[in-house]
């Protein structure tokens, strides 16, 4: 289907607004709304924190504040207006009551509580409805929300900083810094957009990382998730920070740390038959807890486990123009005996970031 240049122009403005909510709305989707009348924007807004106003309501408030009459206006919304009563009221009803005449929507909401019902209610009230404008861009902005709503699982993004020959550290463990400052800054942007950051106990014990967002301003810190089979995380670890939730997944907890850690973290026991954490069950649990995008920064062992079990959706690789020789690789995947066993991906994007390259590669599922 083809859309008018005008509809595309205003939907792109709505997408720009939605992108402003990139670090804000979790676990809700990032949505933008632009109200247009007589070819002029009269109101705009994006979704606020969970439990606060959605994009459509923010745009209506903006128009009201400016003294604009929204009767007969067109609303451009990056996701289907909701039709259910949650922590906020139905946005489709707000648009109807305001006298909006036409609603242009990028994508239908995958949430089973909405899933076309908002569009149907708008049409039943006599509003003209058009869908599919800039749909791909809108989906990309909420890729984790769409996956969680359709599968119950988060979108898993595995981040790696590596040399051109695929090494993430020297054999002695030294890895700071393989990539440049601009790449590290960009990595914090990807951390900030995630609902949660995942690492393993090996990284915690070896590096004692904070694994928070520091290089960019953010209204909230992502939850930190640690795969810690025997519950060995030191209670004094740097990852424990004020107002940042920490979730520990274990298999066979050791009593010496359990009491102290229980006061600092949410601990869940999900063992597999080998005494490790059952990773698919952990992802299902994270989905049930509202995690849309899971950003993984771990060592080669956990990376390999996630890849072997087919739990990764995309690789986010910052590749430095270095040859490091023998070192620590990206994952302990393999060894394979035939090329047919290799895991195939496709390049979604390749972008220079400072002196390095950011490679986003996705699995076809």
Residue 75's nearest CA partner among 117, 29, 130 is: 130
The residue from 19, 56, 80, 128 that is catalytic is 56
DSSP letters along 96-126, please?
A: HHHT--EEEESS----TTTTTHHHHHHHHTT
Say how far apart CA 333 and CA 137 lie, in whole Å. 33
What SS3 class is residue 272?
A: coil
Do residues 324 and 166 make contact, with C-beta atoms less than 8 angstroms apart?
no
Query: Can 56 be counted among the known catalytic residues?
Result: yes
Say how far apart CA 327 and CA 331 lie, in whole Å. 12
Say how far apart CA 343 and CA 334 lie, in whole Å. 10
Residue 96's nearest CA partner among 143, 45, 142, 57 is: 57
Q: For residue 198, how far is the Cα from the chain centroid?
A: 12
Question: What's the full length of the chain, in residues?
Answer: 365
Instruction: Report the DSSP beta bridge partners of residue 198.
Output: 225, 296
CA distances 237 to 215, 231, 234, 256, 261, Å, are 21, 13, 5, 15, 10
Do residues 31 and 21 make contact, with C-beta atoms less than 8 angstroms apart?
yes
Say how far apart CA 3 and CA 105 lie, in whole Å. 12
Phi/psi of residue 213, nearest 5 degrees: -95, 120
Which of the 8 DSSP states describes residue 53? -
Say how far apart CA 170 and CA 183 lie, in whole Å. 19
| CB within 8 Å of 156: residues ≥ 6 apart | 283, 294, 296, 306, 311, 312, 313, 314
Q: Which residues are catalytic?
A: 56
């Amino acid at each position: 289907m083809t859309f008018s240049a005008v509809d595309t122009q205003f939907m792109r403005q709505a997408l720009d607004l939605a992108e402003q909510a990139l670090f804000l709305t979790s676990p809700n989707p990032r949505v933008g709304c632009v109200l247009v009348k007589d070819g002029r924007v009269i109101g705009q807004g994006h979704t606020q924190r969970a439990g606060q106003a959605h994009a459509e309501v923010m745009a209506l408030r903006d128009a009201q504040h400016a003294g604009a009459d929204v009767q007969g206006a067109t609303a451009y919304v990056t996701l289907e207006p909701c039709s259910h009563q949650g922590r906020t009221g139905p946005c489709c009803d707000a648009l109807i009551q305001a006298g909006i005449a036409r609603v242009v929507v990028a994508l239908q909401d995958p949430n089973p509580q909405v899933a076309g019902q908002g569009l149907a209610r708008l049409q039943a009230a006599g509003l003209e409805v058009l869908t599919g404008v800039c749909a791909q861009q809108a989906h990309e902005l909420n890729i984790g929300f769409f996956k969680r709503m359709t599968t119950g699982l988060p979108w898993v993004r595995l981040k790696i900083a590596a040399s051109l020959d695929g090494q993430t550290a020297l054999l002695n463990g030294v890895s700071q810094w393989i990539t440049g400052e601009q790449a590290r800054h960009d990595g914090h942007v990807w951390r900030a957009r995630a609902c949660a950051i995942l690492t393993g106990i090996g990284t915690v014990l070896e590096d004692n990382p904070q694994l928070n967002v520091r290089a960019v301003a953010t209204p909230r810190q992502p939850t930190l998730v640690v795969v810690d089979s025997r519950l060995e995380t030191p209670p004094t670890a740097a990852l424990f920070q004020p107002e940042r939730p920490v979730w520990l997944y274990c298999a066979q907890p050791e009593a010496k740390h359990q009491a102290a850690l229980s006061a600092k973290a949410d601990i869940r026991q999900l063992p597999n038959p080998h005494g490790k954490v059952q990773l698919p069950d952990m992802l299902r649990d994270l989905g049930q807890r509202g995690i849309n995008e899971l950003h993984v920064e771990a060592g080669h062992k956990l990376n390999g486990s996630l890849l072997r079990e087919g739990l990764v959706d995309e690789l986010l690789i910052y590749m430095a123009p270095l040859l490091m020789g023998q070192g620590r690789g990206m994952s302990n995947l393999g060894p394979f005996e035939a090329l047919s066993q290799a895991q195939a991906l496709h390049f979604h994007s390749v972008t220079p970031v400072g002196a390095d390259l950011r490679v986003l590669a996705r699995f076809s599922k």
